[in-house]
Amino acid sequence: MEPKYKRILLKLSGEALAGEKSMGLDYNIITGICESIKKCYDAGVEIGIVVGGGNFWRGRSSGAMDRTRADHIGMLATAMNALAVADILESIGVPVRVQTAITMQQVAEPYLRNRAVRHLEKGRVVIFGCGTGNPFFSTDTAASLRAAEIDAEIILKATMVDGVYDKDPNQYDDAVRYSTINFSEILAKGLKVMDMTAASMCRDNNIPILVFNLDNPDNIYKSLLGEDVGTLVTTD
């Protein structure tokens, strides 16, 4: 089957990279994720990736620490995750570049939109670290921003739940999963798909989001083939 999309932005949460440990990196888990990304790459899809940092640090839950400094630590956590994913992708034969929104030229390229697009056009996976480079913005917002900048057709949001529900499925047995929903409903109902800044940016730039569960890493590839693996958030 032909993939539905030519260029995508994959958003990986930091927690997903930790597996059951919930902290740090689980290389078996990351390898499974990277093998699914390789299938997408082999199918000719251009892939940008934004990684979170929650397996190491969360700025908004850092207690009494200054929020700006706490968010800076969180940006460094995403850089560590980006390098870990890049290493495993390279080990299985996928050409990859890491770009960071904070300059750290000894370990990664600085983020430049034109260079990122050129890498994608040349068949390289590009991993974006350090969020937007600014405090107070989530990595979901970074994913929305990068998707808009590189003209991605869709954001694939790999999470710990299998879609968008009308209420928390961990608390309510009668929670119902949406197969499709639009951004206006998401914002009006306050559904926790991503923060409102990120959702508004996707709506304003006509970028749909597919939310799916990463328990089965192959869902990344299945989502590209149009299989029903989660909830599609549309801009209609």
Q: What does the alpha-carbon distance between residue 109 and residue 216 come to, in Å, rounded to a whole number?
A: 31
Condensed to tens digits (0 to 9), the pLDDT of residues 109-132 reads 999 999 999 999 999 999 999 999
Q: What does the alpha-carbon distance between residue 148 and residue 194 come to, in Å, rounded to a whole number?
A: 16
pLDDT at 61 over 80: no
pLDDT at 231 over 80: yes
What is the mean predicted confidence (pLDDT) over 141-161? 95
Given pLDDT bands bounded at 50, 70 and 90, which one contains residue 62? low
Phi-psi region of 80 (alpha: psi -120 to 50; beta: other; left: phi over 0): alpha
What is the value of pTM for the model shown?
0.94
Per-residue pLDDT, 78: 97
Per-residue pLDDT, 64: 81
pLDDT at 208 over 80: yes
Per-residue pLDDT, 190: 81
Instruction: Give me the domains of the chain, ranges plus CATH numbers.
Output: 7-234 (3.40.1160.10)
Percent of the chain clearing pLDDT 70 (strictly above): 98
Given pLDDT bands bounded at 50, 70 and 90, which one contains residue 233? very high
Question: 3-class secondary structure for 79-135?
Answer: HHHHHHHHHHHHHCCCCEEEEECCCCCCCCEECCHHHHHHHHHCCCEEEEECCCCCC
SS3 of residue 3 by DSSP: coil
How many other C-beta atoms are found inside a 10 Å radius of the C-beta of residue 160?
11
pLDDT at 1 over 80: no
In Å, what is the CA distance from 55 to each residue of 26, 64, 91, 110?
A: 10, 20, 22, 23
Phi-psi region of 63 (alpha: psi -120 to 50; beta: other; left: phi over 0): left
Given pLDDT bands bounded at 50, 70 and 90, which one contains residue 159? confident
- How many CA atoms within 13 Å lie on the side-chain side of 118? 6
